[in-house]
Amino acid sequence: MAAALSIGSAIRDRRRGLGLTLQALAGSSGLSIPFLSQVERNLAHPSLLSLEAIAQALDVDVDYFVGVPTPGQIVCRAGEHDRIDLESPVVYERLSGRHPERKMEALRLIVPPGLVAPTIHREGEGFWYILSGTLEMTVGRKKFVLNVGDSAHFDQRHPYSMRNAGKSEVRMIWVGTPAIFKD
């Protein structure tokens, strides 16, 4: 039963990620809207033929829905963290797994002394955890000082920024939704 539960949500997530409606998926798969809706809500279980039609319509292999993730998609060893080049003085290292439908991103950031980041906002939640140094953050009009061991969890739709006013780098963990760096 647990495998069936993950198939419905995997189909729904892939469909939504592609910006498709149930009607569009029904049209391209040859299956009915009510049946697809029940599959996505785990009220019905597709046959292998139906799952193949859904997979083709969503441009993936059937394994996408029933395959076990590879170890490299689940575990990221200490020496395997990818650096993400954003042409920024901040160093970004991916801590997240590499499965294609991840909903969150986990990064280690190294923020150099004196950095003042521009104010931004985006969809989803953000979580910061300070490993070393002191970081000033602003969310909306509220200012906070985060020290080693402090964390902040906030709605990133509100404008936010950070500043390292100290003389040493800040090392921090950032976890956010949705995932922002696709492979």
Is the sign of the CA dihedral 64, 69, 75, 79 positive or negative? negative
pLDDT tens, position by position, 5-28: 478 988 998 899 899 999 999 999
The phi, psi pair for 136, rounded to 5°, reads -95, 135
Q: Residue 95 domain-assigned?
A: yes
pLDDT at residue 24 in the model:
96
Check: pTM over 0.75? Answer yes or no: no
pLDDT at residue 57 in the model:
96
pLDDT at residue 76 in the model:
66
Q: Residue 182 domain-assigned?
A: no
Q: Are residues 21 and 82 in the same domain?
A: no
Q: Residue 62 domain-assigned?
A: yes
Number of H helices, E strands in the chain: 6, 9
Q: Are residues 78 and 59 in the same domain?
A: no
pLDDT of residue 101 exceeding 70: no
Q: Are residues 106 and 172 in the same domain?
A: yes
Q: Are residues 10 and 97 in the same domain?
A: no
Of the three residues 41, 66, 91, the one that is the final residue of a domain is: 66
pLDDT tens, position by position, 102-130: 778 889 999 999 999 999 998 889 999 99
CATH code of residue 34:
1.10.260.40
Q: Are residues 91 and 109 in the same domain?
A: yes
Nearest 10 degrees: Cα torsion 93, 96, 97, 103: -130
Q: Are residues 41 and 76 in the same domain?
A: no
Of the three residues 66, 81, 108, the one that is the final residue of a domain is: 66
Residue ranges making up the domain that contains 19: 2-66
Number of domains the chain is built from? 2
Nearest 10 degrees: Cα torsion 50, 52, 54, 58: 180
Do 166 and 147 contact (CB within 8 A), yes or no?
no
